[in-house]
Amino acid sequence: MFQIAGAASDDPVTRYLALWSLLSALVSLLYGCTFVVQFSRMRNAHKMVEWTIVRTFVGTCCATT
């Protein structure tokens, strides 16, 4: 997209959306890797449930303040 010569590469909206798409894909990949590493370290199911409950509580607690 960024290397194609023509109208698509000259349009600022198209370039912005293509860049935004690439950045979103990178962030998604990073979050996916983080969760894979986090849950692979937890061998027991109760650790995963406890981590999820604490993480959800912290997220909702900070969002309401």
* Structural domain contains residue 15: yes
The residue range of the domain holding 36 is 7-64
Predicted TM-score of the model (pTM)? 0.52
- pLDDT (tens digit per residue) in 6-44: 656 677 888 888 889 999 999 999 988 888 887 776 666
Within a 10 A sphere around the Cβ of 44, how many other Cβ atoms?
8
Report d(CA 18, CA 14) in Å as an integer.
6
pLDDT at 56: 74
* Structural domain contains residue 2: no
Domains in the chain, number: 1
Q: Is 19 left (phi over 0), alpha (psi -120 to 50) or beta?
A: alpha
* Structural domain contains residue 1: no
Asked if residue 37 lies in contact with residue 29, where contact means CB atoms within 8 angstroms, the answer is: no
Position 26: which residue type? L
* Structural domain contains residue 23: yes
Please name the helix (run of DSSP H) or strand (run of DSSP E) that holds residue 14, with its range, or none.
helix 12-41
* Structural domain contains residue 12: yes
More confident residue, 5 or 27: 27
